[in-house]
A and B are shown apart, each in its own frame.
Chain A
Amino acid sequence: MGGTVSANHDRANLLEGRGLTKIFGTLTACDHIDLNIAKGEIHALLGENGAGKSTLVKMLFGSLEPNSGEIFWDGKPVKITSPGVAKKLGIGMVFQHFSLFEALTAAENIALSLNDGSPISTIAAKARALSFSYGLPLDPDSLVGDLSVGERQRIEIIRCLLQTPQLIILDEPTSVLTPQEADKLFETLERLRSEGKSILYISHRLEEVKRICDRATVLRHGKVVGHCNPREETAASLARMMVGSEVKAVVRAPAEGIETASALLEIRGLSRKPATPFAIPLKNINLTVRAGEVIGIAGVAGNGQGELFESVSGEVLQQDAGSVRIRGKDAGAFSITGRRLMGAAFVPEERLGHGAAPRMKLSENLLLSRHATDGKAFVGSGGMVKNGSVYSAAQRIITAMDVRKSAPDPEAAALSGGNLQKFIVGRELDRKPSVMIVNQPTWGVDAGAAAHIRQALIELARSGSAVLVISQDLDELFELSDAIAVMHNGELSKPLPIAEATFEKIGLLMGGAEPGHAEHGMEVA
């Protein structure tokens, strides 16, 4: 299928994959995938989570060996048996999750991956020159631990460029950037394209793909479902190709009478010292979430959102009991169980190992967060667990949230990310909490499931609960929120009502410009 498309293309192929197939047990992650990347193009690889994008890329980068299929590089058949081989051919990769040592400098990290014995000072000089020429400012002598996520990504990109690759693979590169940082990245990518390099760009952000990519290959359930020129498509038509059906748009009726509604979650002058040398301190955070509204917290990852979540959830207690108030009562001295009993519910960022115990069944994972709030329903006399009622409650959530699974009560780790997230969110919604705090509600969740989760959160708010959503996904926050506040370096801006908020304004706040912050600080003082 792909072969015919490339034949129509005017440029020569740099890389061509034919019939690439990868099977894991009973799952065919990639099913006869054809992919052609021409010289000097930015090629998008689109697909929902679990569509096979990562598997395909890992085969191209030599981390996985295909069960069948061939790869041609510059027209010649090649076997990419390891990342070392891929690098030698001229394939570089920037991973979604960085592999950097926080305690080393940028240059030392680069030296570790180059592994060619050249002295650190030479590498630092090269890196500095390269970063300058591509407009990716970076001080090679700075400690990675002190750098922002955007800066860390620059190290990864420069590390990749130092190996002078012909093909650069970028896996969801903008998910950790502010809109302004993303713009810079796009400039760099366009520059690389003009130098004749090819880029394979993996993303689920359709607007970006439309903006910078020349061609797109769309995957669904491990198969290629189409090739297209993203510039000629609309975001909706691309989404339809990815999902295979119409994605329901999230409906958000305007919230009414919020100003007079009671404040269900209040954070007052919350500060927290960093728990580890690389943690972010929280500085005098103030926020009120009223009944009926959704407040979003935007921010680049690692600006204290995790610390804020831990503090509000009660996984970490506050010295000043009044710094976190739930339904008008001081909650700072209460543990997470106590706060749940006050009517709050929490969904953490990490699904496996935090929100759910991976090796435990879904029914057991239901008990995980609800053993106290539903003590009567789930735990009988003498602390015996009522397995029957836990099981049926789990099934009720599974049905309500349309969780797809292979067994009646599988282990959490056996579910796909999106389905597990639907269960974890559903587990809390099922309680009808009056305060709901969610960190990254749809991180790595496919479009259909994400729309489902967002709609459910809005409906919870409209039914009279206070919902606080922490997210790195600006599109999501604009879809969900009645007001958006921005977290930067442990400080929280004043929430901007959604009518006033623009990507531009939020983006500036994410980057550290804080209009209105001084005023905000004074108000507290």
Chain B
Amino acid sequence: MRIELVKRPQRSALFSMLSPFIAFALTIIAGAIMFALLGVNPLNAFEIYFVEPISQVWQLHELAIKAAPLILIAVGLSVCYKANIWNIGAEGQFIFGAIFGSIIPVLFPQFEGPLVIPLMLLLGMVGGAFYASIPALLKTRFSTNEILTSLMLVYVAQLFLDWLVRGPWRDPQGHGFPQTIQFGDSAVLPELMPDAGRANWGFVFALVAAVLIWLMMSRMLKGFEVRVLGSSPRAGRFAGFGFNKMVFFTFLLSGALAGLAGISEVSGAIGQLQPVISPGYGFTAIIVAFLGRLNPLGIVAAGLVLALTYLGGEAVQSALGISDKVARVFQGMLLFFVLGCDTLIHYRIRLIGMALTKANGTAKLEAAPKLEEAR
């Protein structure tokens, strides 16, 4: 017995739309099995995981805090992925955005005023874009695989941050803790509604970015360029669109957005640099991008769902004593099922018995023209 994927002649538009929901339902079912195996009543666990964390207004603010970086990063990544360019290193770009943006509050704490925040945000975007330009340069100059280089640069960024906060940037009055000084008041990203909860301007940035990128991708020539180069590179070259330019454009754009997410997180939610500033936002955003069908508006919804998995993970840890790694498990399952659904939208499964395999050896070679004909 052998399993073969056969390309479908036509994609179902209905199932393309339903696929994130089906994936979510499958994740819930698999999650229920997991909870049951852990000896917890699944219904009870789900209530704690998915419902309780968003039952009060201040909790919705927490959700926005978690969703903001996910949406910001994922929106940038969606442009990369639409162009068939694979930036996996948003986590590192996030960290570099945080580091660059922190230059002002850490090294020049005496500099205060209304200019501080805009400058920090700008520096954060520069930092993220700078860090993303490395894999872009390597890809265009030496044809390196951007998946590997961008991913490996994440670890470099993490260790660089670690070294910074333990070494040169450590707070001298911090009793030896590996962290920088607390940012001054004018370096803290303001909260949106301080009376209701902690949510800060980062969430607004995320929504604005989503709308702008949506506009670019659907209405602007630049978005057209991204889509052409991503779907048929040769036609893109014929159109006069440069592939190398596109590599830089997508990396710099997604890097800048990841950097903006990084500095917003540090300046808004954390208030200082520390060895770990992200629970894997840069990686989770990849799931968000795909769950949102690489559509910036879909990504807003997907970002909220994935943010909930973080909150739920914390909730089950405190209420049921289950490791908060369960959040990672949920995220992983979600990505797995989304990709699985997507694959089955494009392909169908064919089972081939062993006895037939031999006779079909030649038939397989003919499968391609057959499909072309069918199309």
Report A's interface with B, CB cutoff 8 A. Answer: 24-25, 29, 54-55, 58, 61-64, 81-85, 87, 99, 115, 313-315, 335-337, 340, 346, 348, 350, 353-360, 364, 367-369, 371-372, 379, 382-385, 387, 413
Contact = CB atoms under 8 A, between A and B. Distances in A.
Interface string B239-279: 11010000000000000000000000000000000000000
A368 B235 contact: yes
A315 B238 contact: yes
B222 A383 contact: yes
B366 interface: yes
B319 interface: no
A82 B370 CA distance: 12
Given A54-B373, A315-B237, A336-B238, A384 B219 contact: yes
B80 to A, nearest CB: 19
Interface string B195-231: 0000000000000000000000001111010011001
B374 interface: yes
Nearest to A63: B366
A106 to B, nearest CB: 19
Given A64-B370, A350-B234, A354-B235, A364 B365 contact: no
Q: Which 9 A-B pairs have the closest CB atoms?
A: A337-B240, A63-B366, A82-B363, A357-B232, A357-B235, A84-B362, A368-B239, A336-B240, A383-B220
A62 B363 contact: yes
B114 interface: no
B37 interface: no
Interface in B96-145: none
Contacts of A385: 219-221, 224
Contacts of B1: none
Contact of B362 (A82, A313, A353): A82
Contacts of B360: 82
Nearest to B372: A54
The binding surface of chain B is classed by DSSP as helix
Contacts of A359: 231-232
B361 interface: yes
A44 to B, nearest CB: 21
B350 interface: no
Given A84-B361, A353-B234, A385-B221, A360 B227 contact: yes
Contacts of B374: 24-25
Given A99-B365, A360-B231, A368-B228, 11 more contacts: A63-B370, A81-B363, A82-B359, A82-B362, A315-B237, A336-B237, A353-B234, A354-B232, A358-B231, A360-B228, A371-B239
A379 B238 contact: no
B235 A355 contact: yes
Among B235, B360, B366, max chain A CB count under 10 A is at B235
Interface in B299-358: none
Contacts of A83: 362-363, 365-366
Interface of B: 9-10, 219-222, 224, 227-228, 231-232, 234-240, 242, 359-363, 365-366, 369-370, 373-375
Contact of A369 (B222, B231, B238): B238
Contacts of B10: 25
A367 B224 contact: yes
Contact of A353 (B235, B363, B366, B370): B235
Contacts of A29: 373
B217 to A, nearest CB: 11
Given A54-B373, A354-B235, A359-B231, A364 B219 contact: no
A382 B221 CA distance: 9
B240 A340 contact: yes
A384 B215 CA distance: 9
A372 B221 CA distance: 10
A357 B240 contact: no
B33 to A, nearest CB: 38
A226 B362 CA distance: 34
A369 B227 contact: no
Nearest to B228: A357
29 contacts: A24-B9, A24-B373, A25-B10, A54-B373, A61-B366, A63-B366, A63-B370, A81-B359, A82-B359, A82-B360, A82-B362, A83-B366, A314-B240, A336-B240, A346-B238, A355-B235, A357-B232, A357-B235, A357-B236, A358-B231, A358-B232, A359-B232, A367-B224, A368-B228, A368-B238, A372-B240, A385-B219, A385-B221, A413-B375
Contacts of B359: 81-82, 84-85
Nearest to B364: A82
Contacts of B236: 357
Given A82-B363, A84-B363, A382 B220 contact: yes
